[in-house]
Amino acid sequence: MKAGLLFAAGIATAAAHPRRHQHPAKRQATEVDVVTVVDTVTALEPSVIVYVDGNGQAVSKSFYGAPATTPTDAPSSVAPSSYAEPTTESSSEAPPPAYSSSDSTPAPAPSFAPSSAPAPTSSSALSGDFSGYTLSYSPYNSDQSCKSQDQVNTDFNVISGYGMIRIYGTDCGQTATVLTAAKAKGMKLFAGVYDVNNVDAEVQLIINAANGDWSDFDTVAIGNEGVNDGRYSVGQVVSAIGTARSMLQAAGYSGKVVTVDTFVAMIANPQLCQASDYAAANCHAFFDGGVTAEDAGQFVLNQAQRVSEACGGKDTMITETGWPSDGETNGQAVPSPENQVAAVHSIRTAFSSNIVLFSAFNDKWKQNTASTFGAEQYWGIYGDAP
């Protein structure tokens, strides 16, 4: 998960700290390797963004002009997106431009029917009806080992009640284990391909897990934030979507196929949503730095509207959004249990559907870093896994 690359308008020098997904490497029988990527993005002046790697070496530069206009209508209903392993080569296409919250104008009242979420008056924002929402879930223990079917089932005893569960890859046999647990709770599956460069093999694992029955699959996502990170070019992702769609359709799947990226990358590269069955964008108000927890829902709605407009009015889903319960303060964004409750409540007030809450449990298998404000492990709205 990560936010768009954000800095306040009118400030000549600023540093943005996009969140970096971490994902356990492909697992062998007795050995687990972890690849952690920490990049830094530095805005040198209001119209120039220089992207640097973890060693401070510039890898690319992009320019941006006037901000996009906020559409007058909220995106229409959609259904619901995955991980990609980092590479050492930068994309052949320029990364998306930076975006500032000051670029957006106040959005009109959402066309989504607001949910009946209760006021956040306790340590939990989890009462009420969650059947219209999707929840992201990762089946890893804190030592990065794979969770067993029994462990996944135990987790789902806590998180049942959602309409759908989003996963990010095929390692750990997770398509099958999560599908089994979700199906038992009456929830659909939002499956994912981890490595766009290995799309054939990963899609085949999804096909194997389905075993001819696609009734509990809603969406298959090909890649997650790969263009925003510079791991893949737009062309690579679009090609992978085509490959995946052909394989899935040949196996009897008639559901949705998308790629997921940040709202910034989606706006800058509408080819991503044009190749997808709907626009799937991640958006985290926490990383803007100028948004409080109480205003998280309106911020995310504004960006959903911008994505929909950039994609020609295409159906749009926010495929990650949430708030950390711990970590370091980022401007007006303060991580705390109380603010996590407030943010989830705000998001639920702005959206009654078309949203993926991030994440089910604290991801203790990840590594906290300064670039993620020490909050990488603390996005679980249900706290630690049972």
- The CATH number for 14-372, chosen from 3.30.1330.10, 3.20.20.80, 3.40.50.1820, 3.40.190.100, is 3.20.20.80
Active site (annotated) includes residue 320: yes
Annotated catalytic residue within 85, 202, 309, 320: 320
pLDDT given for residue 115 in this prediction: 41
pLDDT given for residue 127 in this prediction: 75
> Does position 383 have pLDDT exceeding 60, yes or no?
yes
Question: Of 287, 210, 199, which is closest to residue 244 (Cα–Cα)?
Answer: 199
381/358 Cα distance (integer angstroms): 8
pLDDT (average), residues 322-343: 97
pLDDT in tens, 101-154: 333 333 332 333 334 444 444 444 667 889 999 999 999 999 999 999 999 999
Percent of the chain with pLDDT over 90: 64
R_g over Cα of the chain: 19
Percent of the chain with pLDDT over 70: 67
Cβ-count burial of 141 within 10 angstroms (0-12 exposed, 13-18 middle, 19+ buried)?
A: middle
pLDDT in tens, 254-311: 999 999 999 999 999 999 999 999 999 999 999 999 999 999 999 999 999 999 999 9
Question: Of 46, 42, 36, 44, which is closest to residue 18 (Cα–Cα)?
Answer: 42
144/135 Cα distance (integer angstroms): 20
Question: Of 180, 202, 198, which is closest to residue 189 (Cα–Cα)?
Answer: 180
pLDDT given for residue 194 in this prediction: 86
Tokens 């120039």 belong to residue: 48
Mean pLDDT estimate for the chain: 76
251/367 Cα distance (integer angstroms): 38
Residue 137 is which amino acid? Y
Angle between helices 199-210 and 234-250 (to 10 degrees): 30
The pTM of the full predicted model, rounded to 2 decimals, is: 0.73
